Amino acid sequence: MASYREYYRRSVEQPEAFWAEKAALIDWHRPFDQVLDSSRKPFSAWFRGGLTNLCHNAVDRHLAQRAQQPALVWESTEVERSRSYTYAELHREVQRMAAILQRHGVGQGDRVLLYMPMIPEAVFGMLACARIGAIHSVVFGGFAAVSLATRIDDAAPKLILSSDAGSRAGRVVPYKPLLDEAIGRASHKPRAVLMVDRGLHPFDPVAGRDLDYAAECAAVGQPQVPCTWVDATHPSYILYTSGTTGRPKGVQRDTGGYAVALSTSMQDIYCCRPGATYFCGSDIGWVVGHSYIVYGPLIHGMTTVLYEGTPVRPDAGILWRLAERHRAQVMFTSPTAIRVLKKFDPALMRSCDLSSLERLFLAGEPLDEPTAEWISSTLGKPVVDNYWQTETGWPILSIAGGVEALPPKPGSPGVAMPGYKVSILDEASGQPLPAGKKGVLAIDWPLPPGCMQTVWGDDQRFVDTYWSNFPSRQVYSTFDWGVADEQGYVTILGRTDDVINVAGHRLGTREIEESISSHAAVAEVAVVGAADALKGQQAMAFVVPRDASRVADAAGREALSGEIMQTVQTQLGAVARPARVLFVGMLPKTRSGKLLRRSIQALCEQRPTGDLTTLEDPAALEQIRAALAEQP
Ligand code: AMP
């Protein structure tokens, strides 16, 4: 077995040779002319001139050997159903979906927005877009009308694929009313809305716009839709993610680099075998779902499990039973899911035959040591942390167990993955810091294949947001604090910006603030993320009301706090709803008017507030302290 050090060294010192070799893991219709086009730094274009197709690599190329192997297995504990599709069947379904898209004018480069529950048609939709060179943008089903409308306007989709409803913890969650409201709010209007009617929630189709999936399937029959060969740099999808502003960024991903990076990760990080089963419990609305429910496992010729349900229904043994039923080789979930399961009897896990399971991967948020210890000892299998972002599409830090099984270091997701020239920089000067010193985790150009190409429709925003944070050097900022040790293991110490992470869901505090500000009774608001034992963080809102008399007593505070929470839920979705809304007379700010969020957060977490020399009025912090102590 090669050594990790040698493997990593080569990946960063000879990136072109390294990735040219990895490119052989996927099929190319025409070879690329150039491994890395560095003519437009900090942009990087991988495998330019090469023609390929993500859907071909995920589906068609396996038909020769795996036509009868299950490709996609759908399990729903929400509607008590399951369905399984072999590679041959998936090929048919995807061609049908592609034909429907084409029939309604969707072609190469057109956007298709998916607002879908966790059902097979969502996967068909993603793959069908990739097949015909259309660009998909999946919006998490937990987002509500305002979040959705912003994304519709930014991506300007020609068609939207949606469904009548999802289901969460046994409760039907209608999608169609939110979608209609979002389209009503958005300036951009899609030409068509393709509705998968699950029969969960009746709806009135909009004449001339809404299409019925079943009727469309009948109309196209069993068509053959060949893959459209696209340049490796052709965008495959846009996935919106939160940042410092109230306006989410469309992370744009390429085609060839993504396929090569995912293939590399399936082999070198996830240690997967083609033909085996991969069970990732994420959602297709997040990057983990894109990379490790849909594209990664399928490109690697595996069976992937698509799960509609929670980890605790009908009981807390469900994830393990699904792993047993499908003989999963690998499972992937979030630390929050494990913290939830930790409250239940481990016998639910132990009663399952998990002999097929080789590794459990956890990502999306920091993995605390007690949770890591509990799950490793209870499961009795290696538990591997992996740290990455929507922007990178695959792990930055982990253990490349397929290369060398380095020992894990408690509290650290691991060491740098291939191609990521990771360093820890001083926040102010941008100078690299030695081991043991906390700084900003940055990545030198070039980002490896698979990472974001740009911000959709806004190259300048890509440069300004990610590559312009340090005076002396143009490096990519992850916006995470980190500290490295002498061996290169990095520990993540939270975000440097106003992004919070609730149960592995990334949320922008500014977006939540904007939503709260839209309530007529709100004069000012600050939202921060405070540590939470179960969800990692929770959103806390501090509100200055326009009329203080409204919150003079407990009943008034409760009423207004309920209204504010409902406003966020209606506009952005339940995921963004703050856990607590507290009322104050003023917010702590610097003399130049900047909110002192880090100090508010420190108070919420009962930590020292740090340097307060710039604070305009100390009474504001006292009010936060008092609100935390006195208001429920
Ligand atoms: P997202 O783009 O939604 O995947 O969120 C990415 C952010 O989640 C990162 O910038 C980190 O702040 C956090 N994150 C993801 N994975 C980990 C991990 N394994 N350990 C610590 N933080 C993580």
pLDDT in tens, 196-226: 999 999 999 999 999 999 999 999 999 999 9
Measured by CA distance, the residue closest to atom 18 of ligand 1 is 387
Cα–Cα dist 489/436, whole Å:
10
How many Cβ atoms are within 10 Å of 474's Cβ, its own excluded?
A: 15
CA 26 to chain centroid: 24
Q: What's the pLDDT tens digit per position in 263-280?
A: 999 999 999 999 999 999
The predicted pLDDT at position 472 comes to: 83
For residue 286, the ligand 1 atom closest to its alpha carbon is 3
Half-sphere exposure of 38 (CA within 13 A, CB side): 8
Cα–ligand 1 centroid distance for 394 (angstroms) = 11
Q: What's the pLDDT tens digit per position in 546-595?
A: 999 999 999 999 999 999 999 999 999 999 999 999 999 999 998 888 88
Q: What's the pLDDT tens digit per position in 417-448?
A: 999 999 999 999 999 999 999 999 999 999 99
The yes-or-no verdict on residue 244 having pLDDT over 80 is: no
Q: What's the pLDDT tens digit per position in 73-125?
A: 999 999 999 999 999 999 999 999 999 999 999 999 999 999 999 999 999 99
The residue whose two tokens read 């010729």 is 301
Cα–Cα dist 88/74, whole Å:
16
Strands 45-46, 135-138: pairing kind: unpaired
Half-sphere exposure of 240 (CA within 13 A, CB side): 25
For residue 397, the ligand 1 atom closest to its alpha carbon is 19
**Closest CA relative to residue 469, chosen from 479, 482, 457:** 479
Q: For helices 145-155 and 176-185, what crossing angle results, to 10°?
A: 50
Residues linked to residue 138 through DSSP beta bridges, in sequence order:
114
The predicted pLDDT at position 345 comes to: 94
The torsion angles phi and psi of 263, rounded to 5 degrees, stand at: -60, -45
> What does pLDDT average to over the chain?
96
Decide: 187 and 140 in contact? Cβ < 8 Å.
Answer: no
Kindly state if the Cβ of 478 falls inside 6 Å of ligand 1.
yes
For residue 363, the ligand 1 atom closest to its alpha carbon is 19
Cα–Cα dist 429/439, whole Å:
11
- Give me the amino acid identity at 560: L
Ligand 1 pocket mutation, candidates 492, 493, 505, 511, criterion most atoms within 8 A of CB: 492
Decide: 546 and 521 in contact? Cβ < 8 Å.
Answer: yes
Cα–Cα dist 249/457, whole Å:
10
Residue ranges of the domains in the chain? Answer: 80-228, 441-495, 499-630
Cα–Cα dist 610/613, whole Å:
9
Same fold yes or no, 80-228 and 499-630? no
Cis omega (within 30 of 0) on the bond before 314? yes
**Closest CA relative to residue 333, chosen from 357, 351, 302:** 357
pLDDT band at 454 (very low <50, low <70, confident <90, very high): very high
Residues linked to residue 36 through DSSP beta bridges, in sequence order:
46
| Strand ranges in 485-604 using DSSP code E only, listed in sequence order | 490-495, 499-502, 505-508, 522-532, 536-545, 580-583
pTM for the full model?
0.95
pLDDT band at 611 (very low <50, low <70, confident <90, very high): confident
Residues linked to residue 171 through DSSP beta bridges, in sequence order:
168
Class of domain 499-630: alpha beta
Say if domain 80-228 classifies as CATH 3.40.50.980. yes
**Closest CA relative to residue 246, chosen from 469, 457, 458, 499:** 499
Q: What's the pLDDT tens digit per position in 14-42?
A: 999 999 999 999 999 999 999 999 999 99
For residue 479, the ligand 1 atom closest to its alpha carbon is 10
Kindly state if the Cβ of 371 falls inside 6 Å of ligand 1.
no
The predicted pLDDT at position 464 comes to: 97
**Closest CA relative to residue 480, chosen from 607, 388, 603, 361:** 388
CA angle in degrees (0–180, nearest 5) for 246-249-254: 175
Contacts of 12 (CB under 8 A, 6+ apart): 418, 419, 420, 421
The torsion angles phi and psi of 356, rounded to 5 degrees, stand at: -75, -25
Cα–Cα dist 503/338, whole Å:
11
Kindly state if the Cβ of 283 falls inside 6 Å of ligand 1.
no
Stretch 287-308: mean pLDDT: 98
Q: What does R_g of the chain's alpha carbons equal in angstroms?
A: 24
Cα–Cα dist 273/297, whole Å:
9
- Give me the amino acid identity at 378: T
The predicted pLDDT at position 277 comes to: 98
Token pair for 141: 């089903």
Kindly state if the Cβ of 282 falls inside 6 Å of ligand 1.
no
Ligand 1 pocket mutation, candidates 139, 481, 498, 501, criterion most atoms within 8 A of CB: 501
Kindly state if the Cβ of 304 falls inside 6 Å of ligand 1.
no
